[in-house]
Amino acid sequence: MKIIHTADWHLGKVLNGQSFLEDQAFILEQLIETLKSENPDVLVIAGDVFDTTLPNKGAVALMEKTISYLNIELEIPTIIIDGNHDGKERLGYGAKWFKHNQLYIRTQLSDFFTPIHFGNVDFYTLPFFTLAEARQYLEQGISSYEEAVEKLIERVKPQLDDSKQNILIGHFTVYGAPKSDSERDITVGTIESVSPHCLDAFDIVMLGHIHHPFALNQKHIYYSGSLLQYSFSEVNQPKGVRCFHLTDKKHEQTFLPLSPRRRLVFIETSFDNAIHGYFSYQNSEDYFHFNLSGLEMVKDPMQQLKQQFPNTLALTQQTSGSTRQVKATQNIKKMKPLEIIETFYQELTEDALNEVQTKHIQTFLNEYGEEE
């Protein structure tokens, strides 16, 4: 069996006022050509099809056009789960009759216990959920996302068929996989993270949520990554899809890169170098973030830059404290929520949280987490 695994399309994404819809239509055409060439038995889309719970008409139209072509014209069975950016009701509309054409849209926790069968492979779908949803479904107190995932998997284990390959499709963070800026829009820190060992019951785990396809080094757990760069912290990340070849109880996988119409580019130089193009770049139509020195006496620098590089999305001024600021941003991706708050408080007040403050914050994180 051949499976194409993708995720994090984020249709309707807007960055600094710039709509990515045109770029998304371009990359989805590449995806279609890749699927024509590979001719997979199943397509897996592991969440965050849309960028917001209420996507605009253009995003919905692009999704419908793409999925209908893949599922109806190319006749590729397709499995879709929701991510933390998707609205369950909007994405799941029509799911009951779509499945008759082998388009399976899964948005409910109860779906986890009804696998999708394709030959000797069973797909178990675990759509994104909040702690409140897990507590309600499991009818018991749950203190963390990891605990919820563990309890759900324990309940499903008795029905796993050892004679088949059991594949989990999910949308969450596995410890050890750092996030980019665009993945922090909805969630805080690593609240929705789980340990790799929690997923050992499955032969393959296909995940969405982390935008870097090589963010995790595990023998059977994979992120496809996003189709496009969606924040300037993703500048050097490859983008594409994963292709799995399954034989008996073994699998091989390869990463198939896709090339965007425009890339995100971060440039650090002087204003004079930037305005004259004295720096290395491939395409003047790319999306630029300029971090420049020598802006003190420049009138309307953004407008001047846009005359040369029309898709300039951000302009920041180099400061003596920029090194420290970048270091903090990099480190924060490896920190737990309480550590982030403690560090922020200490930097602002030059004092540590006391025992009472720490207890209140921990209680808040445990009680509300994703919901708030």
Confidence of residue 91 (pLDDT cuts 50, 70, 90): confident
Closest by Cα among 258, 252, 225 to 6: 225
Dist CA 251 CA 292 (whole Å): 48
The pLDDT, as a whole number, for residue 334 is 65
> Within the chain, what is the greatest distance between any pair of CA atoms?
71
Q: How many residues does the chain have?
A: 372
**CA–CA distance, 39 with 278 (Å, rounded to integer):** 45
From the CB of residue 302, how many other CB atoms can be counted at a distance below 10 Å? 13
Nearest to 147 by CA among 366, 372, 368, 371: 366
| Over residues 50-63, mean pLDDT | 95
Which of 212, 262, 234 minimizes the C-alpha distance to 22? 262
Residue 167: pLDDT over 70: yes
What confidence tens digit (pLDDT) does each residue in 136-149 have? 999 888 888 999 99
Give the Cα separation of 242 and 216 in Å (integer). 14
Contact 103, 125 (CB under 8 A): no
Average pLDDT taken over every residue of the chain:
89
Q: Which of 130-134, 269-273, 345-349 is predicted most confidently?
A: 269-273
Burial class (CB in 10 A: 0-12, 13-18, 19+), 157: exposed
Q: Work out the average pLDDT over 95-121.
A: 92
Q: Considering the entire predicted model, what is its pTM?
A: 0.82
pLDDT of residue 190 exceeding 50: no
* pLDDT at 212 exceeding the cut of 50: yes
Task: Write out pLDDT tens, residues 260-295.
Answer: 999 999 999 999 999 999 999 999 999 999 999 999
Is it the case that residue 109 has pLDDT exceeding 80? yes
